[in-house]
């Protein structure tokens, strides 16, 4: 697999052109960025959340961790992290742990971290652990602009230390 069929169809309809970047196998977005010689601050990861009835995506910088309390405050409802086994049904054409941060592509609500608006370029999982999608920051903002956003993540230094050592 290279890119999720669902994601490719969505990007072709909504974004037009995009670049697909191949890299060596990696399970962490930070590692994928380093192996692809990309600025880590421009790599975005998806965190899948759920409330009592629905699932949603949170798009945050790859070096950050999601702040559930902030999201709950913004949305006015309780959310929690989805379990890995739930994701297989939601993202059938994506490898486990390689979820693209575009809720609309998968018919899902989303929220995004405001810091992403400052990026000139955005890179994210294509649906497997060997490819990243590259969009301009403007392209990505066009795709997510109608979704709630705010400061929903904070630095996760532990993640960077784990990958480095």
DSSP sequence for 135-155: EEHHHHHHHHTTS-EE--EEE
- Give 44-56 as a DSSP string: EEEEEEE-SS-EE
What pLDDT does 141 receive?
A: 97
State the average pLDDT over residues 68-75: 96
Closest CA to 75 of 135, 131, 148: 148
CATH number, residue 19:
3.90.960.10
Number of domains composing the chain: 1
Range of the domain at 156: 5-164
State the average pLDDT over residues 12-20: 92
Q: Model pTM?
A: 0.89
């Amino acid at each position: 697999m290279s890119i999720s069929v669902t994601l490719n169809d969505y990007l072709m309809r909504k974004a037009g052109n995009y670049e697909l970047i191949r890299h060596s196998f990696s399970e962490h977005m930070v590692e994928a960025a380093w192996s692809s010689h990309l600025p880590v601050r421009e790599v975005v990861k998806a965190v899948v959340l759920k409330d009592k009835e629905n699932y949603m995506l949170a798009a945050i910088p790859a070096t950050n961790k999601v702040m559930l309390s902030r999201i709950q405050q913004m949305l006015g409802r309780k959310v929690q992290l989805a379990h890995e086994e739930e994701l297989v049904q939601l993202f059938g054409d994506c490898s486990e742990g390689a979820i693209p941060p575009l809720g609309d592509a998968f018919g899902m609500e989303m929220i995004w971290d405001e810091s992403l608006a400052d990026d000139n370029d955005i890179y994210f999982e294509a649906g497997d652990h060997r490819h990243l999608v590259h969009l301009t920051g403007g392209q990505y903002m066009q795709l997510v602009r109608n979704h709630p956003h705010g400061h929903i993540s904070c630095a996760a230094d532990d993640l960077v230390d784990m990958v480095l050592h």
